[in-house]
Structure 1
Amino acid sequence: MNLRIKIATGVIALASATLISFLGTWEGTGQNAVYADQLAGGLPTVCMGITRYTSPQPVIIGDYWSAARCAEVEALVVQKAQLQLAECLSNQAIGQNTFDALSSHGHNVGTPNTCASRAVGLINAGRIAEGCKALAWAADGKTPVWAYVTNAQGQKVFVRGLHNRRLAEVELCLK
């Protein structure tokens, strides 16, 4: 299903093939058994990053989801998040790749966090390239952002894989 929405004067596809492929790369595919995501503090997760916070259905560790159920719920989750994301974007010049990169970011850190981010603020201000870079870098251009988790001792720990994802989102966003 390829729905389209209008953002300002542009038309953007929901759940584009590019986004679904991108999410598969970073969230994994074939994750049909619900597992405790260690980077998310043991949060029950299934398919391509579906959690109890995003799923309309219960996500219980040990449950098995069929490929069809994953596809159905993933489509609902992605489209709902993208509609929320569209509400916080006001820049008329946003293209599909920028929208997909922001959608991936929101899928990983939560759409409200993405909407409140420096990246979206810059993009809405017409500074798209700077906003794209802000998905991975602080204002100083040297300090990684959105690439940390809090460990059991309450310390923020840098995760290379999360930063690699942020860098890939920047690359997609700038295309």
Structure 2
Amino acid sequence: MTDRSNAIKAGAGLLAAAALATATFLTNWEPGKDPGLVYADKLANGLPTVCKGITKHVTTTPVVVGERWSPEKCQAEELAAIGKVQAAVLRCMRREPPLSVLAMATSHAWNNGAGNTCASQAMVAWNAGDWALGCQRLSVSDGGSLVWSYVRTGRTLPDGKPEMRFVQGLANRRAAETTNCLEGLPK
């Protein structure tokens, strides 16, 4: 067996373990009042959302407001979608990450999109091998400002940029991602 095939096996095992860790983490942040009922997410400008945050961005299954998904469908769709998001995040990483980094990078991508996570300063740090700095950058910029805790209001500022509104719940989620990411790093 070549070193390359061993790395692929390790990657598959890492993906499976991180999928479970991500699904567990999402339970605290995407529970919904009625997880099987598809609703229009106000923070995402009415984007149809179901279960633990499933949207058209993470699944090919139609997500239609008002439909009801069974617990079994939620679980199957969530695990498939988490695996897809994790694979996208892992493709951006130049080094095999610790489990906690991949799980929290996936949570971040689940909430913000894999492209945004891949283009983030957290990913820059992880690709340089600085796992702790990358974890910190999930919630706070190097200058100390909260990041990834804002949503667009739908209005445009005079300079042409979108107006943003701070959301404490997003700041709390980012802080929890940072904490979980750091706690899982090798000592």
With normalisation by structure 1, the TM-score equals 0.89
Instruction: Specify the alignment match of 1:118 in structure 2.
Output: 121
Task: Work out whether 1:169 is the aligned partner of 2:177.
Answer: yes
After superposition, the CA RMSD in angstroms is 1.8
The 1-side partners of 2:122 and 2:178 are apart by 10
- 1:100: how far off? 0.5
Query: How much does 1:57 deviate?
Result: 0.9
Aligned to 1:144: 146
Q: CA deviation digits over 1:65-121, x for unaligned, max 9?
A: 1111111111110001111111111124x2111110111001110111101111011
Indicate if the aligned counterparts of 1:44 and 1:61 stay in contact, CA closer than 8 A.
Answer: yes
Aligned mates of 1:5, 1:164 — CA distance in 2: 35
Q: What is the CA distance between 1:135 and its match in structure 2?
A: 0.4
User: Letter of the aligned partner of 1:98 in structure 2?
Assistant: V
Counterparts of 1:158 and 1:5, CA distance in 2? 41
What is the distance in 2 between the residues matched to 1:82 and 1:5?
Answer: 15
Whether 1:70 aligns to 2:65 is no
Greater helix fraction, Structure 1 or Structure 2: 2
More displaced 10-residue stretch of structure 1: 66-75 or 22-31: 22-31
Count of residue correspondences: 168
Name 1:97's counterpart in structure 2: 100
Given that 1:5 and 1:13 are in contact with CA atoms closer than 8 Å, whether structure 2 keeps it comes out as no
Does residue 6 (structure 1) correspond to residue 14 (structure 2)? The answer is: no
* 1:27 corresponds to 2:35: no
Unmatched tracts of structure 1, length 5 or more: none
Equivalence map 1:10-89=2 (5 Å): 11-14=13-16, 15-28=18-31, 30-89=34-93
Match among 158, 161, 168 for residue 166 of structure 2:
158
Structure number, greater radius of gyration: 2
Give the secondary structure class of the aligned counterpart of 1:84. helix
Judge which range, 153-162 or 34-43, deviates more. Answer: 153-162
3-state SS, counterpart of residue 81 of structure 1: helix
Instruction: Output the CA distance in 1 between the equivalents of 2:121 and 2:168.
Output: 21
**Any runs of at least 4 consecutive aligned residues in structure 1 with deviations exceeding 4 A, and if so which?**
none
SS in 1 for 2:155: coil
Distance across 2 between alignment mates of 1:52 and 1:21: 21
Structure 2 unaligned blocks of 5 or more: 1-7, 157-162
CA distance in 2, matches of 1:20, 1:52: 18
